[in-house]
Amino acid sequence: MSGSEFQLIQSYFSEPVQNKRADVILGIGDDCAIVEPREKSHLVFSIDTLISGVHFPQDSSPDSIAYKALSVNLSDLAAMGAEPAWFTLSLSLPDFDKTAHQWLEQFSKSLFALSEQHNIQLIGGDTTRGALSVTIQVCGYIKQQSGLKRSGAIEGDVIAVTGSLGAAAIGLDIALKQNYENYSCLSEVDKHAALQALNYPCARVDVGLYLQGIAHSALDLSDGLYSDLGHILNASGVAAIIELEKIPLASSLDCMTKEHAWEKALTGGDDYELCFTLAENDWQKVVRQYPQFTAVGRIVKAQTGQKSLHLLLANGKEYSIRSGGYDHFA
């Protein structure tokens, strides 16, 4: 692809005029990009790779691949309470033929539409021949001595999530045509909603910025509430109680048994909602601002020799989950 690489970059990845930021001194087209960081701020970075057949089905549309690749990285910035600034893109393509031109046109259009929405500029990257994969690294700003972390949860904190859970996990099963017998009850509208949740996750950047200085800890739900909340508990040295009946289940799960729906919401992953902990008084303020958010449990004191995350049924009995969250190397 090297002979066509410059043409590819010029045709599809030269930043639109409306996307340019004042803090970018030199962007795409040179050996390196040059940016001017903001004073009295820290830079935060995140990177994710999406591989065809692993992180998205091989027949996924190019616009959905671009959207998700950038959105999942923006979601990491959101979880830190960071303001997006710049990103780089590494793209591997099987070929650069007529079909690739059509693919790249849709991919780049979606990529720049989302980047403009969040005022984040593409400043460089790499293209090469190989199996289809997309790697994006994002960089954003936080104020000095700030940033939402996983290690700040405190005993007594409310545990909350920003939206409904479980739809994306169903969307993945539908896209991969697996466990289809479990979804015969779904309407076409529900199936479409599940696929949209999978392919076009919403990065809660505005919420992350709002929670800065309010929440004690936060992360985004990429691998499932059960697994991801465990990271907060381990980092903070605390335990938690989750009330299963309070988990906001996506409407796509309405026709399933409660147990099946809970499993999807807890372990399915790909939701990219934020999970955060904060004091009860602050939660009351947040829920007035965002009434669609849901409190699902509380942070409690960790007990030596006991598990850190307890799932409680309405009758107070503990529920045993059948599987953990998504593991990239399982």
CATH number reported for the structural domain that contains residue 304 in this entry = 3.90.650.10
Local structure of 258: helix, strand or coil: helix
Q: Which residues contact 106 (CB under 8 A, 6 or more apart)?
A: 61, 62, 63, 66
E strands in 97-192: 121-129, 133-143, 158-161
- pTM of the full predicted structure? 0.91
| Tens-level pLDDT at each residue, the chain (330 residues) | 444 666 777 778 876 656 689 999 998 888 899 999 999 999 999 999 999 887 888 889 999 999 999 999 999 999 999 999 999 999 998 887 777 888 999 999 999 999 999 999 999 998 888 999 999 999 999 998 889 999 999 999 999 999 999 999 999 888 888 766 677 888 999 999 999 999 999 999 999 999 999 999 999 999 999 999 999 999 999 999 999 999 999 998 988 889 989 999 999 999 999 999 999 999 999 999 999 999 999 999 998 877 899 999 999 999 988 765 444 434
CB atoms within 10 A of CB 21: 16
How many CA atoms within 13 Å lie on the side-chain side of 285? 10
Q: Which domain holds residue 200?
A: 158-312
Identify any residues that bridge with 311 across adjacent strands, giving them in sequence order: 242
Domain-embedded: residue 58? yes
- Whether 106 and 182 map to the same domain: the answer is no
Q: Angle at which helices 258-267 and 225-236 pack, to 10 degrees?
A: 50
* Residue 279 three-state SS: coil
User: What is the C-alpha separation between 184 and 181, in angstroms, rounded?
Assistant: 6
**329 in any annotated domain:** no
Q: Are residues 123 and 186 in the same domain?
A: no
Return the number of other C-beta atoms located less than 10 Å from residue 112's C-beta: 20
Given this model, what pLDDT does residue 180 score?
A: 63
State whether 201 and 243 are in the same domain. yes
DSSP-derived 3-state class of residue 128:
strand
> Does any domain span residue 326?
no
Residue at 36 is within a domain:
yes
Q: What is the pLDDT of residue 261?
A: 92
Task: Looking at the structure, tell me whether residues 162 and 130 fall in a common domain.
Answer: no
Q: Both 306 and 162 in a single domain?
A: yes
Q: Are residues 120 and 40 in the same domain?
A: yes
Q: Which two tokens stand for residue 63?
A: 């616009």
Cα angle value 77/82/84 (rounded, 5°): 75
Instruction: Quote the number of domains for the chain.
Output: 2
Q: Do 253 and 162 share a domain, yes or no?
A: yes
